[in-house]
Every structure is written in C-alpha cells, then in structure tokens.
Amino acid sequence: MRVVLASHHFPPERLGGVELVTLKTAHWLQQRGHTVEVVAVERATDGAPDRVAARRDVYQGVPVVRLTIDLFAPDMPWEWRYRHPVIEEWFRRYLEEERPDLTHIQSCYLLSVGVIHAARDVGCPTVVSLHDYWFMCPRITMLRPDDVCCAGPGDPYACSWCLMTEQRRYRYLDAATRGLGGLSMARALRWDVAARVLAGPASPAALERRRRVLGEALLRADALVTPSPYVRYLLHAQGFPPERVRLVPHGLALTDEALAARAEAPPAYARRFAYLGQVIAPKGLHVLLRAFDGLRRSHHDAELHVYGDGLGLPYEQRQRRTAGERDGVYWHGRYAPEDVWRVLREVDVVVVPSLWREIGPLVMTEALAAGRPVVASDLPNMHYAVRHGENGLLFRPGNHGDLQRQLRRLADEEGLVARLRAGIAPARSREREMAGLMAVYRMATERAEPLAKTEVAGHAAVGVGRIAARRNGQV
C-alpha cells in the first residue's frame, strides 16, 4: 500500500505529540513493506500566502515533502486559515501525480481542511486523525483565556467572546460588564452587531461559518480516528455518525530499557519528580513549579527535572527564569524521543499538570509503561489513563495547592509509590495500536468512492486574485 501522511509539522523542526505519532506510524508502515511519504509544513511565515514552495527531504528513512508558505500574512483572508485554496490546489496536484492508495491526515492545522477536499476530489480514500480540538475550537485547546476549560463547542457567541478577550482592550470590557451575567452580557450589548464591527474574524457569524465548513469537511472523510473517548463523545454529540469515528488508543514499542525500568524496585518515598513535554502555557508547568516550591520547603532533598522546550517563546523564557530561581529544579531542555526510557529510569514520578483536556498525551502512556506513577490533572482524557489511588494521583486542574498535597503524599507515605506501581496495567502494544489503525484503513478504502472533482483550481485562482487586488489597492 502507498500511504501519504499529512501533518502540520514533522521532525526535526518540531517534536510534539502529533509529530511523534506521525513518525512512528511511518516507521511501522515501512517495516511492514508499505510505501510512505509525509507532507508537512516546514515554515509557515517565510513564504507568500499565494504560493507553496516544496522541497523533498528524508528524515530517519522517511521521505518528506516540506512546505513553505506564509499562513499568517495580514492580508490573507480569514477563511484561508481553515480552508486554504492554494494549499488545496497544491495538494490535489500532488495526489494526482503520486496516486497513493490512501491519505492519512494527522492534522489539518496549518494545512487547512483543503487537504481533505483535495484527497476526496481525486478519489483517494481519506482518514483524518483528531489529536486536538482544532475542528471544534479556534484556540485549538478548548481552553478559555482565563485558563478554564470550555464546556464544549456550539455557541458562536461564547466562542466570539473567548477569542476577543485574548485582546487587552476587550478584557477591560469583559471586567466592566461581568455583572450582567456570563454570556447574557454579550447579548445585552448586542454583541451580534458589535462583534461584526469590532471583532472581524472573531464575530459570531464568522465563527459559525468556520464551524460549518470544518464540519462539512469532516463528513467528507471516509473515517475519523482518535485516541480519546472524550473526542469521540463530543463528535457524537454534534451528530457525527458513530460508525465513522473509530477509537484507537496509543500503543508503544517497548524496548529492553523500558522493560528494565518497569522491573526496577520502587523507592520507599518519591523524591525525583519529572515534567516531560512542550513548555507552553496550556501544559501548566507554572502550576507545577509553584507546587514544587511548596514541597521543597519541607523536603529539601526533593528534585524536579524538567524535560522539553517551548521554541523560545515568552512562556518558556519565564518558566526557565523561575526554575533557575528555585532550589532543586533541574532544567534539561529538549530530549530525543529515543531517550525517553533513559529519562524515565532516572525519576520516580511523572507529573502532567495540563490545564486543557489533552488528547491521549503520550508522556502518560510512556511513564506508566515504564512503571512510573503519574500525577495528573483531573480532566477527561487524563482520568481515562490515571485512576486516583490505583496507578497514580489526580488533582484539581490549575490548583497548585492540591497538586502540592498529592506530591507531599508521595514524599511522605511509605510504600505509596510501590502500591501505585503495582496498580499499573501492562502497556498497550504498538502492534495492537497499528492493528486498529489498519482496520480503519481497510474501512476507509472499502467505503471510498471516487467523487466528482470540484472547481478547486478556479476557487484558488479567485482567492489568489483577492490577495493580489488587496496588495494593489483595488480592494
């Protein structure tokens, strides 16, 4: 089988969960004799919104087509951020030349849903993985600016207000009118009118169009796959046919080092805690640093090891400065995926303090496979894997005091680490995960029917013309 994997990024430039899943899927398919090529965005700001530049590369034996295009140009139409006609046309032409047997889209972020339409327009069976909430939430995380999880998609007024309060001037308006009562405040201010004038793409009407376009694109895919029961629940609640949404949890290829880590004798008390992952605000490292600071005051031998990076963004810089001011905090930076088992062998407990409902975070799966209990935020997708008092501990999301109490339990209660380790179930194998994915591939291939090609090229030409007209002062 010839398979194209499409993702927003691909190593080595980026090394998040989606990128790792894409890489591991490519390797597994290659090892079974399938032909694989990855299409990913290399640079999203260095090009032009009306041109796609592509170069071929090979990473760890995987052929890669790396794209450069400016996806954040100020004159780029808002709608292009979720259906980019130029990328759609480029991808359609690429598929017509390569003629793959199946396209597996790991992420539409940056690429837009244009890649779904392009694949179906050429009659290529199409699978879409849902690793985040991009299809439901413009902020991707379903996390409000005040770090409170959204109750769920559906109300364009709520989404509009959420996006606008990211901007300082609207936060003042929010604070001044909060007494009107939640979202009723928006309607009391005739937000449906005001947003059109003040918010532009954040208006309720614009967000409703986005929701409709993305929903229609998902319905064109032959199969949807997610590692998260919560995502499947949300899709079902929005009316997606249950048979189209397949649950395929993450699996692992356990090395000798992973098995050795699992076999190690547990310590009587936890002293070495670890954070592994991207250093970005929704991941909640700042909550962990504050909680650990409290623990360190009474447990001077406690250690916190931080592994990961945040691409040099301001949040990472702030947390790194904070860590440098704390005793017992060791900042290791980015680590290679193949080093994860070595890293886990050097710690007692892994902490996942996320503020958002992460979709099947790999670090939890890896930590448990290595016999390391996990302390995690009590959120959907977390408590599917971590059961409080059985294989780990849960705490109230964003509450550093509650997190500190859980860390203190592990540091004070003799034998707690051992009891939690004993409650860790055997890890799901990579073979089992890929068997589930291959079943989805077969379903998509059997279901797919060649569809009539749409006038994508014409659509792209019109869109490019809009940009050119704007630049020439005609619009």
The pLDDT value given to residue 93? 97
Asked if the model's pLDDT at residue 444 lies above 60, the reply is: yes
The pLDDT value given to residue 188? 47
- Please compute the mean of the pLDDT values over residues 21-42 and round it to a whole number: 96
The pLDDT value given to residue 47? 86
Helices (H) then strands (E): counts for the chain: 18, 14
The region of weakest confidence among 95-104, 110-119, 179-188, 329-338 is: 179-188
The pLDDT value given to residue 63? 98
Give tens-digit pLDDT for 233-292: 888 888 888 788 999 999 998 889 999 999 999 999 999 999 999 999 999 999 999 999
The pLDDT value given to residue 347? 96
When the pLDDT of each residue in the chain is averaged and rounded to a whole number, the result is 86
Q: How far apart are CA 170 and CA 165, in angstroms?
A: 5
CA angle 214, 113, 235 (to 5 degrees): 40
The encoded tokens of residue 94 equal 């690429």
Give tens-digit pLDDT for 195-223: 555 556 778 888 889 999 999 999 999 99
The pLDDT value given to residue 454? 40
Share of the chain above pLDDT 70, in %: 86
Amino acid occupying residue 325 = E
The encoded tokens of residue 111 equal 């690429």
Domains of the chain as residue ranges with CATH:
2-137+211-251+433-471 (3.40.50.2000), 138-210 (no CATH), 256-422 (3.40.50.2000)
Helix H segments across 413-455?
A: 416-422, 430-447
Task: Give the burial string for 257-268 (b: 16+ CB within 10 Å, else e).
Answer: bbeebbeeebee
- Please compute the mean of the pLDDT values over residues 124-145 and round it to a whole number: 91
Give tens-digit pLDDT for 163-197: 777 665 555 555 555 555 554 444 444 455 455 55
- Please compute the mean of the pLDDT values over residues 5-16 and round it to a whole number: 90
pTM for the predicted model, two decimal places: 0.84
Question: 26 exposed, middle or buried (CB, 10 Å; 0-12, 13-18, 19+)?
Answer: buried
The pLDDT value given to residue 409? 97
Question: 53 exposed, middle or buried (CB, 10 Å; 0-12, 13-18, 19+)?
Answer: middle
The region of weakest confidence among 50-64, 119-133, 379-393, 452-466 is: 452-466
The pLDDT value given to residue 200? 67
- Please compute the mean of the pLDDT values over residues 69-86 and round it to a whole number: 92
The encoded tokens of residue 11 equal 């190593």
Question: With contact defined as beta carbons under 8 Å apart, do 53 and 69 qualify?
Answer: yes
Highest mean pLDDT among 12-21, 172-181, 346-355, 442-451: 346-355
The pLDDT value given to residue 449? 60
Dmax (CA) of the chain:
74
457: pLDDT confidence band, cut at 50, 70 and 90?
very low
Q: How many CB atoms lie within 10 A of CB 472?
A: 8
99: pLDDT confidence band, cut at 50, 70 and 90?
very high
104 Cβ neighbours under 8 A, 6+ residues apart: 3, 4, 5, 6, 25, 126, 127, 128, 129, 441
451: pLDDT confidence band, cut at 50, 70 and 90?
very low
The pLDDT value given to residue 460? 40
The pLDDT value given to residue 174? 55
The pLDDT value given to residue 469? 43
Location of structure tokens 């901007």: 167
